[in-house]
Structure 1
């Protein structure tokens, strides 16, 4: 389960990085999901930063939780 959560966090992180790359350079136009969601409007840069932070948080969350022995 830990690996699955880390994989989901990595995918979210990649979406955020891809969004930033698209906003700054125009590359990865079809790859980023935040760009295709109309309700974000012109806040795609902010959404990309939030996705990066969320991706890091999801990736480190399984390590922060202790197992009960």
Structure 2
């Protein structure tokens, strides 16, 4: 379970950072961002990317807490 949470943490963080990089560099990081390819996020890509980063940090904190507790 800890491995799955760690992988999910990495995916959330990488998609969030990739989305921000895609927006800030006018599309250079097109392959990194799933958010940029979804048309229903038009106009909200930066907000969605920030939410993905925060969710990834939360998942990482939960994973570390589970490791310390031995779960």
- 1:31, distance to aligned residue in structure 2 (A): 2.5
Check whether the contact 1:6–1:60 (CA below 8 A) recurs between aligned residues.
no
Show CA shifts across 1:7-66 (max 9, x none): 111111000000010100121113210011111111001111111111111111123344
- 2:21 aligns with 21
Check whether the contact 1:16–1:47 (CA below 8 A) recurs between aligned residues.
yes
Q: What is the rounded CA distance, in whole Å, between the counterparts of 1:51 and 1:62 in structure 2?
A: 16
- 1:51 aligns with 52
Q: What is the rounded CA distance, in whole Å, between the counterparts of 1:27 and 1:51 in structure 2?
A: 20
Kindly tell me the number of residue pairs found equivalent between the two proteins: 68
Runs of 4+ in 1 over 4 A off after TM superposition: none
Query: What is the RMSD of the two structures over their aligned residues, measured on CA atoms?
Result: 1.6
Give the TM-score taking structure 2 as reference length.
Answer: 0.83
Q: SS of the counterpart of 1:27?
A: coil
Q: Mark the runs of 5 or more structure 1 residues left unpaired by the alignment.
A: none
